[in-house]
Amino acid sequence: MHARTRGFTLIELLIAIVVLAIMAALAWRGLDAVARARDAALERSRAADRLSLSLRQLDADLRAARDEGAALPAVSLAGNGDLLIVRRAPEALGGDPRAWPPNGTPADAGLMEVARWGLRGGRWMRWASTPSASPRVLAAAMQAPQGSGLALLPGVEEAKFLVFRYAGIGLLSQSGAWVSPYTASSGGHGNDAVALTLRTPAALRVTLRLAAPPLRGTVSREILIENRQ
């Protein structure tokens, strides 16, 4: 008699298929978790880069701040909380004398602009006025945002500022304190809001309250203002 060749039964095949399906599902869940973690880490990295870029731009604005008199203080706050900075306009040639034209300084040298920082719809935004040498044009730029604002950082609930004031002159100038600029005397900068004049403090502390993923919590940065008067 010929020996019968035994194969797999239908039940055995079904069990094998079920086991393979379970293993595939577990493997897919693992890969999906890895992909989600990678995407979340990338999103946090990008958000951190945007935060760092925003603070570096604010730092650059404050380092270039110039006090142009009572009507154009280097640093001031509008009544709606916007931060106003009168600063040297970035030069097209980067301020490198080696790149200047042979017949003199570049045409944009010495121009000023007004940089405005404020919250709009949960976004921290920056506006920059058209560079000008006219005090009247700059004073007009203090009244309202100029041009299209650049949304630098989303998900910001609140932006607060403190200024560092030295106690006095001489030995007392070595001590000071962080004070609220909102208690300063008010001046007139536009019809939309009354501005609080800060003149040029020694330093500025900005505190941002972040409430949207992937960044949550409070971020504080202190910036030294070197060109104070």
Confidence at residue 11, expressed as pLDDT on a 0 to 100 scale: 83
User: How does pLDDT run across 6-29, given as a tens digit for each residue?
Assistant: 677 888 788 888 888 888 888 888
Confidence at residue 183, expressed as pLDDT on a 0 to 100 scale: 61
Non-local (6+) Cβ contacts of 118 within 8 A are 78, 80, 81, 82, 83, 124, 125, 127, 145, 159
Q: What is the mean pLDDT of residues 86-99?
A: 67
Residue 70 — very low, low, confident or very high, per pLDDT cuts 50/70/90?
Answer: confident
Confidence at residue 53, expressed as pLDDT on a 0 to 100 scale: 92
Summary mean pLDDT of the chain? 80
Q: Which amino acid is at 8?
A: F
Is 125 a residue whose pLDDT tops 90?
yes
Q: What is the DSSP letter of 3?
A: P
| pTM recorded for the entire structure | 0.73
Mean pLDDT: which of 26-40, 45-59, 167-181 is highest? 45-59
Domain ranges of the chain: 45-94+109-224
